[in-house]
Structure 1
């Protein structure tokens, strides 16, 4: 007989709330990571989890230092949620080997060259699952929606990607490239990187539009960089949504407003809910359920103005939702809204 479910349930009842710490690699005031935090906080409250977040403020090695401190002071929680931003995850997992903690990986998975370390008996037991949005799908679909929004015009394309290391960035960019390569009437002129930053997005767009004055499409890997792109295009006399079509990602208020106004022609998002759904999986595990080692689901949607989902995400009033009674559908993260 498997006594693990009963042991987990007994521990939960005996020692109070299940504790979870999320290592957030971003800045607390960045729109995407703020959305991640607020949604996860609402889920944790409904599920009665003791949930805390450590913000790395995009200083990735501060995650290593903070984890070392938690281990040294014996302050590890029951569960950790980790993100493989800038390929930092293997280093964190090495520190955790042999510790009494479960790990769930969210948003960016461990890369192929480090997969073998997960075959160790310790990680077979303690690495619960990976909940990774399908960035390839999202990159492809955003590119396709942008092209459709233009009336499928022929033209030149440029990509402003995030960085060359983060798996989400690599896969999102690959999806976009695949779509553009399938379209004989589209010519991909250049791929550049702006490190998810508005000012760098602005500078890269100035360079691209000056070098390619006939550029018709600009695929941008996040909203912060897209804001810089829209500003640069205005300064050079281009009209976003009219003679320059822009696709991007995330659900900041500013991005949603620009999508409603038509300056952003295609917007994909919803993956900010990933950590919140990860908390739901942790709750299930704490009650004795066995989790899939990897969840294969989009966790992205194309966001269309005037839809109920669009308005829900714009309002961000997550406390109105009852997550405790939700049947989670990772393929449609907001499918419970009609």
Structure 2
């Protein structure tokens, strides 16, 4: 009986030892794989504060995770962006991953272009619309090298902004103007959908007009000069980004209105200027957080490259609650943080390679607000 027990213990020890050796070998294989190389087709201007900060956060993640990142700016020109993509295919040394944005609904063209390429594609910030996916399918379908997506809660952000803005009047009837982004851009459409959902819940608020400000300060300023004069009773202005809000703010001041007192504005972004406006109170509502998207995408691609598929940790297509409404204290904290080059975060703490216990990434802006 004693010998039998010893034999069982010996077998168990051998089993445990074998599993440890296997795990160590697996771990060594995962860590020894060459670093991932990523190209990001950034749709914005190369001097556009939002897209520059977006790329900087992405680069900070790449540095922490030992990845190679190249950013190619499209300069808000879809044809230029597609031409850059074609040039990428002609290179002798191609990247492992191409990250793209469905700006101006260009994603289907990119997927067709890279259909036979060994490069794996990942959609970021705005992915293919439901209508587009009904035609060509979703990720890991017809285009097998399209491995997944990560987008923010744009509809929810638009809704939260509208609800907070309406809340400033504590149930009083009022008129509202909205400044949307670029037509045919998913993020702009979704934010406007959120606004309309909030308005359905508040029949006391009358939407006078939705204007296509195209994300631009000057365009929104020129539009606001006309519509604020046309609707002098307007007390609420919802803007899908910060640049348009500042254009409206300028026009309102020229008409003798005081932002934060006579007229309340909501905006979305993370520029130093918009954070300061939230701190000063000239901007009443601010949503932010989506500038972190690229950094989180780098975590997902890093893990995927090391053999840990992100699909097993929350799904291959993620819509994460990256937007939050910032109060004055949070705006001040984030403003101070973003003035420091790079990032104060260690992105390895969000990676399943370094933290195998992660079951769902659950990305958000919260780590930057703590």
CA contact 1:12–1:18 (8 Å) conserved in 2:
no
The 1:261/1:324 distance shift into structure 2, 3 A limit, reads same
Structure 1 partner of 2:13 = none
1:298: Cα distance to partner? Answer: 1.9
The 1:121/1:84 distance shift into structure 2, 3 A limit, reads closer
Structure 2 partner of 1:204 = 223
- Select the residue among 175, 198, 205 that pairs with 1:179: 198
1:123: Cα distance to partner? Answer: 4.9
CA–CA distance in structure 2, aligned partners of residues 89 and 121 of structure 1: 15
Compute the TM-score of the two structures, normalised by the length of structure 1.
0.91
1:319: Cα distance to partner? Answer: 3.1
Q: Which moved more, 1:162-171 or 1:73-82?
A: 73-82
CA–CA distance in structure 2, aligned partners of residues 190 and 92 of structure 1: 34
What is the SS of the residue equivalent to 1:29?
Answer: coil
The 1:71/1:124 distance shift into structure 2, 3 A limit, reads closer
CA contact 1:9–1:288 (8 Å) conserved in 2:
no
Compute the TM-score of the two structures, normalised by the length of structure 2.
0.84
Q: Which moved more, 1:71-80 or 1:328-337?
A: 328-337
CA contact 1:25–1:85 (8 Å) conserved in 2:
yes
Deviations 1:198-250 (A, max 9, x none): 10010111111011010010101110111111100000111111111101100
CA–CA distance in structure 2, aligned partners of residues 10 and 199 of structure 1: 54
CA–CA distance in structure 2, aligned partners of residues 188 and 331 of structure 1: 34
- Select the residue among 214, 238, 250 that pairs with 1:195: 214
- Select the residue among 109, 112, 115 that pairs with 1:97: 115
1:84 aligned onto 2:102: yes
Structure 1 partner of 2:147 = 128
1:187: Cα distance to partner? Answer: 0.6
What is the SS of the residue equivalent to 2:75?
Answer: coil
The 1:193/1:119 distance shift into structure 2, 3 A limit, reads closer
Q: How does 1:12-161 map to 2 (within 5 A)?
A: 13=32, 16-115=34-133, 116-118=135-137, 123=142, 125-161=144-180
Q: Which moved more, 1:119-128 or 1:143-152?
A: 119-128
1:12: Cα distance to partner? Answer: 7.7
The 1:192/1:295 distance shift into structure 2, 3 A limit, reads same
Q: Which moved more, 1:149-158 or 1:80-89?
A: 149-158
Structure 2 partner of 1:312 = 334
What is the SS of the residue equivalent to 2:144?
Answer: helix
> Unpaired segments of 5 or more residues in structure 1?
1-5
> Unpaired segments of 5 or more residues in structure 2?
1-24, 352-359
1:288 aligned onto 2:320: no
CA–CA distance in structure 1, aligned partners of residues 367 and 337 of structure 2: 16
Structure number, greater radius of gyration? 2
CA contact 2:40–2:100 (8 Å) conserved in 1:
yes
The 1:75/1:208 distance shift into structure 2, 3 A limit, reads farther
How many residues align? The count is 331
CA–CA distance in structure 2, aligned partners of residues 200 and 10 of structure 1: 54
Q: How does 1:215-234 map to 2 (within 5 A)?
A: 215-234=234-253
1:163: Cα distance to partner? Answer: 2.0
Q: Over aligned residues, Cα RMSD in angstroms?
A: 2.3
Greater relative contact order, per chain length (Cα 8 Å cut-off, separation 6+): 1
